[in-house]
Structure 1
Amino acid sequence: MKAVLLDAEGHYQVAELDEPAPGPGEVAIQVAYAGIQWGDTMLRDGHFPAPRPFVPGFEASGYISAVGEGIDHDRIGTPVAALTAAGACAEVVVAPAVLSLDVGDLPLRTAGGLGWAAPTAYDLINTATRVRPGESVLIHAAAGSVGTLAAQFARLAGADRIVGVVGSAARADYTARFGYDQVVLREEFPTELGDERFDVILDPVGGSTRRTGLEQLAPHGRLAVYGNLSTYEPVLADTNDLLMQGKSLITYNSNLLSRTHPERLADSARRALGLVSDSTVHVDITAEYELADLATAVQRLAEGATYGKSILRIA
C-alpha cells in the first residue's frame, strides 16, 4: 500500500508498505480521507514522542476491510469515521473498533472532517464545562476546526452570547459564519472586551491568554484548557482565589480519554456525528490535499494559513 512516512529529520515521503492487519478489538479501514489536525504539527516538531520513520495521521474515513478477533464480521464493508493512534495517512489504517463509528449515508469526505475536533468540541461544551441556557462563552482559536464546531454546540446548548478570538481580520470574517455574536482580533484582546466576564472560556492557547482567562471568568465560571498552541509555559492558579468566586479550572485531554475510557469518547463522537448527519451542525472543510502534499498541509496549518478543517484525499 501507499503511505506517508515521517523520517528522523522531519521530512515526509510517500512509500510502499505492507498493509497492517487488525488485532483483537481492532478493524482495518480502506482509507478514503485522512483528517489533518494540530497533533500533526506537534508530531512533526517532536512534541509527540514517536519512533521514526512513522506513518502519521490520527483520523480517517473509509470502509472497514477486515476485522480483528472479537469484532463482528458483519462490519466489513461499513463506512466509518475513525480516531486512530497513528497511520491514517495511508491506503489502509488499523483503528480501535470502538472508535470507528458507522457514518451511514454521510459522505466520506464530510466524515473525514469530523476527526478528533468533533468529540473534543462536543465534550468541551456539553461534558467539561456543561454550558447552560443563557450563559456567555468565550472561545479562543475560534477559526479552527474545534472553534467553529464549539460555537455551534454552544448555541445548541442555549448560550446567550458567544465571543471568538482570532489572529487576523480575514479569520474574523470567516469565523462570523458560525454563530459568533462578536469576534475579536488577538491583538485587540482583552482590551476590546473591557470588563466583560464570561461563564465559560475555552483555551487551547496557554501562557498569558490563560492567565487573562482566569481573570475574565464570572462567578461560578469555568475555564477549560485543552492545549498549548502558543507556549508550554506553566500557568499557576491560586485555588483559594478560585474557591472564593466559585470559579473552576478544567482540563480536557481527548487523547488520554481514548486510552482510559474510549467508550466515553466514542459516545461523544457519535452524538456529534448525529448532529452533523442531520445538518444541525456544519463541518467546514476548506482545504483538500493529495497524499504527497502532506508536508504542505501541515506547514500551512502550523502557520495559521488555513481555516476550519483540512483533509487529505487518499482514495
Structure 2
Amino acid sequence: MKAVVLDADDQFRLADLEAPTPGAGEVAIGVQYAGIQWGDVLVRDGHFPTPRPFVPGFEAAGRVVAVGEGVDESRIGRQVIALTGAGAYAEVVTAPAALTFDTDGVDPRLAAGFGWVTPTAYDLVNTVTRVRPGESVLIHAAAGGVGSLAVQFARAAGAGRIAGVVGDADQADYAAKFGYDLLVSRAEFPDALAAESFDVILDPIGGPTRLASLQRVAPHGRLAIYGNIATFEPVELNANDLLMSGISVLTYNSNLLSQTHPDRLADSARQALRMMASGQVAPDITAEYEMADLGKAIDRLANGGTHGKSIVRIS
C-alpha cells in the first residue's frame, strides 16, 4: 500500500508498505480521506516522542475492509470515520472499533473534516464548560478547526454573546461567517475588549494569552485549557484568587480521554455526528492536499497559514 512516512529527519516521504491487519477489537479501513490536525505538528516537532520512521495521521474516513477478533463482521463494507492512534496517512489503517463511527449518507470528504476537532469542540462546550443559555463565550483560535466548530456548538447550546480571537484580519474575515458577534486580533487582545468579561473562555494558546484570558473570566465563569499553541512554558495560577471569584480552570485532553475513557469520547463523537448529520453544525474544509504534499500542508498549519479544516486525499 502507499503511505506517508515521517522519517528521523522530520521529513514526510511516500513509501510502499505492507497493509496492516486488525488486532482484537480493531477494524481495518480502506482510507479515502485523512484529516490534518495540530497533533501532526506536535509529532513532527518531537513533543510526542515516537520511534521513527512511522506512518502518522490521526483521522481517517473510508470503508471498513476487515475486522479483528471480537468485532461484528457486519461492519465490513460500512462507510466510517475513525479516530486513530496513528497511521491514517495510508491506503489502509487500523483503528479501535470503539472509536470508529458509521457515516452512511455522509459524503466521505465531509466526513474527513469531522476528525478529532468535532468531538473536541462538542466536549469543550457541552461537557467541560457546560455553556448555559444566555452565557457569553470567548473563543481563541476562532478561525481554526476547533474554533470554527465551537462557535456553532455554543450557539446551538443557547449562548448569548460570542467573541473570537484570531491571528490577523484575513482570519477575521473567514471566522465572521460562523456567526461571531465580535472578532479581535491577537495583537488587539485583550485591550479591544475594553472591560468586557465572559462566562466561558476556550484557550488552546497558552503563555501570556492564558493569563490575560483569566483576567477576563466573569465571576463563577470557566476557563477551558486544551492546548499550548504559542508556548509550552507553564503558567502559574493562584488557587486562592480563583476561589474568591468562583472561577474554575478546566482542562481537556482528547487523546488521553481516548485511552482512559474511550466510551465517553465515543458518546460525545456520536452526539456531535448526529448534530452534523442534521445540519446544526458543519466542519469547513478549506484545503485538500495530495499525499505527496503532506509536509507542505503541515508546515502551513504550524505557521498559522490555514483556517478551518485541511484534509488529504488518499484514494
- TM tier relative to shorter chain: over 0.9
More displaced stretch, 277-286 vs 59-68: 277-286
Aligned partners of 1:228 and 1:112: how far apart in 2? 24
Letter aligned with residue 72 of structure 1: D
After superposition, give the CA deviation of every residue in 1:168-225 in whole Å (9 maximum; x if it has no partner).
1010000011111000011111000011110000000000011111111100000000
TM-score normalised to structure 2 length? 0.99
Question: How far is 1:50 from its partner?
Answer: 0.4
Aligned residues: 315
Moved over 2 A (4+): none
Question: How far is 1:279 from its partner?
Answer: 1.2
Match of 1:308? 308
Alignment of 1:290-305 (within 5 A): 290-305=290-305
Alignment of 1:26-105 (within 5 A): 26-105=26-105
Aligned partners of 2:214 and 2:11: how far apart in 1? 39
Aligned-partner SS, 1:306: coil
Alignment of 1:20-31 (within 5 A): 20-31=20-31
Match of 2:187? 187
TM-score normalised to structure 1 length? 0.99
Gaps of 5+ in 1: none
Match of 1:285? 285
Aligned-partner SS, 2:13: strand
Letter aligned with residue 91 of structure 1: E
More displaced stretch, 267-276 vs 58-67: 267-276
Asked whether 1:235 is paired with 2:220, we answer no
Aligned partners of 2:8 and 2:137: how far apart in 1? 41
Letter aligned with residue 114 of structure 2: L
More displaced stretch, 271-280 vs 192-201: 271-280
Aligned partners of 2:112 and 2:99: how far apart in 1? 14
Aligned partners of 2:245 and 2:13: how far apart in 1? 53
Alignment of 1:253-264 (within 5 A): 253-264=253-264
After superposition, give the CA deviation of every residue in 1:78-107 in whole Å (9 maximum; x if it has no partner).
000100000000000000001000011000
Question: How far is 1:26 from its partner?
Answer: 0.4
Match of 1:126? 126
Aligned-partner SS, 2:227: coil
Match of 1:199? 199
Aligned-partner SS, 2:187: helix
After superposition, give the CA deviation of every residue in 1:13-32 in whole Å (9 maximum; x if it has no partner).
10000010000100000000
Aligned partners of 2:108 and 2:264: how far apart in 1? 23
Alignment of 1:94-243 (within 5 A): 94-243=94-243
Aligned-partner SS, 1:187: coil
Question: How far is 1:54 from its partner?
Answer: 1.0
Question: How far is 1:306 from its partner?
Answer: 1.1
Letter aligned with residue 80 of structure 1: V
After superposition, give the CA deviation of every residue in 1:268-298 in whole Å (9 maximum; x if it has no partner).
1111111111111121000000011100110
Letter aligned with residue 288 of structure 1: E
Letter aligned with residue 57 of structure 2: G
Aligned partners of 2:120 and 2:278: how far apart in 1? 19
